[in-house]
Structure 1
Amino acid sequence: MTDKLELNTNAYLPLRDVVFHTLREAILKGELKPGERLMELQLASKLGVSRTPIREAIRMLELEGLAVTMPRKGAEVAKMTEKDMEDVLQIRKALDELAVGLACDNMTEEELKQLQVALKNFEESTRSGDVKQIAQADVEFHDAIYQAADNPKLVNMLNNLREQMYRYRVEYLKNESIYPRLIEEHQGIYDGLKRKNKEAVVEIVSHHVENQEIVVKNIIQEQE
């Protein structure tokens, strides 16, 4: 187990959430490797907490697909598989296409301005070198579209999918060479929504998700 593991303290979060964010970041950074066991006693000792928040944090990691409990072995860091990634992105693609189509019909001028701000924030974030910040800016760009779709049930489904998407989003955004294309795709989505060109904007969103799938699939294959 990595020696770098330290509790990222936050006075405003429950301890289980602090432990969860600490372990999640260690997994996404590769400090905790795929297949590495998540032993409650060892983690509790290393982070200076009891086993209860460790156990709760591991359950939260399982919801994100970052951990898996194996029979007779206990929890371990989940390996990324092509099938899991394809399943998640297949759902995301269908829901994103629906969301952007609805946003094309329902987006107000104020919501379009908010999307433009999110577009600029994402572009600025790509110069930060902070993948976590870039991922958050990417989430905020897409969230602006989801809210404009004006369908709370759809937004709820997308929020539930967000946790399973996070690992693949971060893996994708670790590759700096894709930033110019991502910015161009976000600009195309914004322009399509501004023109209310539903057919064009749905097509851009479709390619947007497909491009992510291609890059992440290559990453998974290289790790095998």
Structure 2
Amino acid sequence: MHGSKHPRKSEYGFLGISRPPSLTNQVAKRIAAAIDEGTFQPGARLVETRLAEMFRVSRGPIREALKTLETENIVVIKPGRGTFVAAPSCDDIEQIVAVRAVLEGLAARAVAANRNKQELGQLNLLCKSMCDAVKRGDIAGYQQLDWRIHELLFEFSKNRLVIQSWQSMRCQLNLYWRGRINNLALIEKLALQTCVLVRCLFEDEPNEVGDIFRSHIILANYEVMIRPIPEWLKSYITHMIDENQQIHRLQDEFTRAEAMSRKSETRKTG
């Protein structure tokens, strides 16, 4: 019958129309983003009335959004006490490290295989900015740039499942590491290692790049946590980074990247 307002049904059932994200999901994403950006610190209490005012919604969607975030381990709801931003422990992060190492190894392998010059150039410039921040003693700047490099690595992998898996754990990692790395000597070492990793994306064989990234994630995380690496996890460490052999090559690469950036800016303004 023409003009029927009833949904059309196929042999597989009703042909539905995709719905826009619910208000609860939108609010959950905005609260998670605020936590990720540092608006709410680990362990901070989240008051529903204040969140409702902040996001200009009623308390109902706020309450449901917090329940959603609890299932993602971003907040903790304590009956009779309130809702708090999660404060992941070393034990929590230790469970995540092995998974992250494998995922980042896969992402790095994909990026190295693709070798998109524009993407690699972007990572290289971020490395230069990160090292400049370390030289200034800007610890917060270092952490933001280092985090951005790893975020882009996953994005550039273009592997949907790897990206989704990373997104499911990234907030917990960010909450744990925020403000924990304050030793400038260690930061200098980690920054150089990150630059060496990015350098590998330019030159090394993709499978080897994946192994290098996986090994580094395990070694670096356990060094910062000041914990011994479990025996079962040691078999995942197959490569070590030799920073000393890379320093001069990195400096040359930074100089080349700066020259390319200036040339690009000249073209835009010319």
Normalised-by-shorter TM-score class:
0.5 to 0.7
CA distance in 1, matches of 2:33, 2:157: 31
CA distance in 1, matches of 2:199, 2:142: 21
Give the Å deviation of 1:92. 0.8
Alpha-carbon RMSD = 3.8
Of the three residues 182, 196, 199, the one matched with 2:208 is 199
2:153 matched to 1:145?
Answer: yes
Asked if 1 retains the 8 angstrom alpha-carbon contact of 2:127 and 2:194, the reply is yes
CA distance in 1, matches of 2:52, 2:46: 12
2:26 matched to 1:17?
Answer: no
CA distance in 2, matches of 1:195, 1:173: 30
Q: Paired residues, what number?
A: 199
Other-structure match for 1:167: 175
CA distance in 2, matches of 1:63, 1:128: 38
The one-letter amino acid of 1:145's match is L
- Bigger Rg over Cα: 2
TM-score of the pair, normalised by structure 1: 0.67
2:99 matched to 1:99?
Answer: no
Other-structure match for 1:4: none
The one-letter amino acid of 2:175's match is R
SS at 1:160 equivalent: helix
Deviates more, 1:69-78 or 1:99-108: 69-78
Please show how residues 1-224 of structure 1 align to structure 2 within 5 Å: 17=30, 21=34, 25=38, 27-28=40-41, 34=43, 38-40=46-48, 43=50, 51=59, 55=63, 58-59=66-67, 62=70, 65-126=73-134, 127=136, 129=138, 131=140, 133-197=141-205, 198-199=207-208, 202-216=211-225
Give the Å deviation of 1:116. 0.7
CA distance in 2, matches of 1:161, 1:192: 25
CA distance in 2, matches of 1:114, 1:165: 23
Cα gap change, 1:15 to 1:66, in 2 (>3 Å): closer
Unaligned runs of 5+ in 2: 1-25, 228-270
CA distance in 1, matches of 2:60, 2:51: 9
CA distance in 1, matches of 2:167, 2:35: 21
Cα gap change, 1:155 to 1:45, in 2 (>3 Å): closer
Give the Å deviation of 1:80. 2.8
Identity of aligned residues (%): 23
SS at 2:34 equivalent: helix
TM-score of the pair, normalised by structure 2: 0.57
Asked if 2 retains the 8 angstrom alpha-carbon contact of 1:123 and 1:183, the reply is yes
Give the Å deviation of 1:64. 6.2
SS at 1:76 equivalent: strand
CA distance in 2, matches of 1:186, 1:89: 17
Give the Å deviation of 1:191. 1.9
Asked if 2 retains the 8 angstrom alpha-carbon contact of 1:64 and 1:164, the reply is no
SS at 2:38 equivalent: helix
Deviates more, 1:121-130 or 1:173-182: 121-130
The one-letter amino acid of 1:213's match is Y
SS at 2:150 equivalent: helix
Cα gap change, 1:16 to 1:99, in 2 (>3 Å): closer
Cα gap change, 1:182 to 1:71, in 2 (>3 Å): same
